Structure 1
Amino acid sequence: MTTPTPVADEKFARPATDEAIDRAAGALRGRGITVDVVDTVPGARQRVNELLPPGKAVFTAASETLRLSGITEDVDESGRFVSLREQLPPGDIEQFRLRGTTPDVIVGSVHAVTEGGELLAASASGSQLAPYAAGAAQVLWVIGAQKVVPDLDTALRRIRTYSFPKEHARCLEAYGQPSVLSKILIIEREIFPGRATAVLVREPIGF
């Protein structure tokens, strides 16, 4: 039986205005998250390379934002960083689960950020959600301009009607099997100063 591919609502591909991005940045700072706003995707890539600490184990979350920007390649293939993915034995799901939950640093993205400063990440397995929430000592998110939305209701609608259909189609093409939307993490604030950083990009990247 063929699983139908949901149709993505392409209005969520449009980048937010500079004013909306600036409102989101200010709100995130008010919720304890460090924010860097950059103009371009190459600028975000450069900033992430500057922010990643040397000598610490870095875990790259599965993310189209990281892949398309070249950040995944920088961390996992360049040899400049200690890549946790490169250290883990291929196919060892248990080690991936245990070590991936509590890395020194996780770098990834989210699927929506509200102008009020809430961050939302969705997942099929949930592998990136535990380190985002508490497991990683340091969290770094790269967020494209199209992910900034007015409020929480719109953020949830963006996940269900745009991000999930896009991921579903990607999984069908890459792996021959559908994705599922099984977990959504809502990050209201960060209580540990300096733990979480969001790099907001004034260009769209990822989905």
Structure 2
Amino acid sequence: MSQQKSDYADDVTIDETLDDLPSDAELDVTVENLEANGFEVRVVETADDALDAVTSLIPDGASVMDGHSTTLEEIGFMDHLMSGDHPWENLHAEVFEIDDDDDRFAARRRAQTADYFVGGINAIARTGELVAADRSGSRIGAYPFAAGNVVIVSGVNKIVADLDAAFDRLEAVAYPLENERAKDAYGVESAIAKQLVFRQELTEGRTTVVLVREQLGY
């Protein structure tokens, strides 16, 4: 069953000042700075619009892998990917059909080099940087180099003033919620073990950020 932010929001205390929707002016500045840093940006109104935007970015025949993201669950991307109602090679399904643990781990590592890697982010600085963290690195490993193309989907609630605030959001919003999810899903606590600051995309057109004017994910 798809996970939603609301599944865990009542179980933890977060800094809600770092999870507010930005003003139109703040959003405009964020888009301008992301684009100046080499990211393609699409701003959409709703989760349904976000799903349409993501699917329109991925060409027929491309290999597709995802990094776990509540936002992808909330916009319906994971249901769409796993339904098979698309013209892509679904690496996620291929990986998790493998029974042997070592072989599956190796396949997950190879899947980081997918033609299109789709995932979320934990914070976006208005100054134009993206911040994310993982326990294992299985999501953020693809972002800086491994994947051919990257599509990052985020609710605009993840936009904060600057990098310092982005790190604060990671600690005070994303981690508490992800920790609850990890305990529920895997029976272990999460950790901010591997952290990425994605300051610039130097390959034109490689990384697209889809910003949704809704409060999604963490």
Asked whether the two chains share a fold, i.e. TM above 0.5, the reply is yes
1:69-105 Cα shifts (integer Å, max 9, x gaps): 11111123233132111122244112212x1221111
Contact in 2 for aligned 1:122/1:181 (Cα 8 Å): yes
Q: Counterparts in 2 of 1:4-19, with a 5 A limit?
A: 7-19=13-25
> Aligned to 1:95, which of 103, 107, 121?
107
Structure-2 residue corresponding to 1:43: 49
> Aligned to 1:55, which of 41, 53, 61?
61
Distance 1:43 1:79 in 2: 18
> Aligned to 2:35, which of 29, 36, 39?
29
Could you tell me how far 1:9 is from its partner in structure 2?
1.9
Is the counterpart of residue 180 in structure 1 residue 180 in structure 2?
A: no
Structure-2 residue corresponding to 1:197: 208
The gaps in structure 1 that reach 5 residues or longer are: none
Is the counterpart of residue 105 in structure 1 residue 116 in structure 2?
A: yes
Structure-2 residue corresponding to 1:136: 147
Is the counterpart of residue 84 in structure 1 residue 91 in structure 2?
A: yes
Could you tell me how far 1:137 is from its partner in structure 2?
0.7
Q: Please give the secondary structure, in 2, of the residue aligned with 1:179.
A: coil
User: Hey, which bits of structure 1, 4+ residues long, moved more than 3 A?
Assistant: none
1:117-159 Cα shifts (integer Å, max 9, x gaps): 0011111100122210100010001110110001000000000
The gaps in structure 2 that reach 5 residues or longer are: 1-10
Distance 2:58 2:29 in 1: 26
User: Which residue identity lines up with residue 31 of structure 1 in the other structure?
Assistant: N
Is the counterpart of residue 167 in structure 1 residue 174 in structure 2?
A: no
Alignment RMSD (CA, Å): 1.4
Distance 2:24 2:214 in 1: 10
Mean Cα deviation higher: 11-20 or 164-173: 11-20
User: Which residue identity lines up with residue 44 of structure 2 in the other structure?
Assistant: V
Distance 1:131 1:76 in 2: 20
Q: Please give the secondary structure, in 2, of the residue aligned with 1:129.
A: coil
Contact in 1 for aligned 2:65/2:112 (Cα 8 Å): no
Could you tell me how far 1:171 is from its partner in structure 2?
1.3
User: Which residue identity lines up with residue 173 of structure 1 in the other structure?
Assistant: D
Could you tell me how far 1:6 is from its partner in structure 2?
6.6
Structure-2 residue corresponding to 1:66: 72
Distance 1:32 1:12 in 2: 25
The number of equivalent residue pairs is 202
Could you tell me how far 1:194 is from its partner in structure 2?
0.6
1:33-71 Cα shifts (integer Å, max 9, x gaps): 111111111111111111112101100110000011111
Could you tell me how far 1:176 is from its partner in structure 2?
2.2
User: Which residue identity lines up with residue 205 of structure 1 in the other structure?
Assistant: L
| TM-score calculated relative to the size of structure 2 | 0.88
Q: Please give the secondary structure, in 2, of the residue aligned with 1:197.
A: strand
